[in-house]
Structure 1
Amino acid sequence: MAPRLDDLVVGDIVAEASFSLTRDSLVRYAGASGDFNSIHYRDDVATTVGLPGVIAHGMLTMGLAVQPVTDWVGDPGRIVDYQVRFTRPIVVGPAAAAAVTVLARVGQLDAEASIARIDLTVTFDGQTVLGKAQARVDLA
């Protein structure tokens, strides 16, 4: 059953999720997306351009971040707007997975338009990696 605007209060947590990113995840995403930039799979290239190591694709991070909202609302078509600012890279080491967490919280309710703004807190290694991450969801 789809969530109802009347049942929500600003500050409510509507979804939480954790994701593990590995080098294998990055290779699979590269194949699916066509983004074969070598900063996503070669440490030497990543460090040459000033990165701390291989980093996750920004669009992969953005996609993972909105997934809990999509699951909560039950229909991706209800997400009418979604935007983020990339603030920190997710460094994916050669052996250990990078743990990414997402917390989705009601940030604003517009009863007239039946729209809920869901604010996303996306963290890796104790730091926020996406700034101003927000999804606007139609709950009509």
Structure 2
Amino acid sequence: MTLSDSAANRDLLTYLCARATRGSGGPYEQDGWELHTHPDLVERLGEIARSDRAVVAVYGYAVLEQKGVAVVVALGTSHLLFRLRAAPEGVVAATPIEPLCGNGRGWHAVDAWSSDARRLVALVKDARRHANTLEDSDLG
């Protein structure tokens, strides 16, 4: 599965594309884009997702998708953005990423390393359930 270009993903794709850098053949690239997610964080995302099948590369960022909808995004070395109905509890918040966090966009920034892995696994499940309820009319 790949990430769809539906209204559900529009804000995220715009944000990632604007910050993307085309690769030049170096070792830190994926699908022709320079990596903007540290490999350790990609591994952490795969661990909490309980599978790396649904982790896709989008403009050099690691994104966990559910039926074509982005549910978790790994940024830099420690940021995980979860698409959730409400702010998560029981985790260490990370600096919000504007313009994705706030304003009812549904993205919440979490520190991947300071937060308990079991709680992050539960948030992945919550984000997947939330994605299953989203319709394009709700997002765009």
What TM-score range do you get, normalising by the shorter chain? under 0.3
- State TM-score, norm by structure 1: 0.24
**TM-score after normalising by structure 2:** 0.24
Which structure has the greater CA radius of gyration? Answer: 1
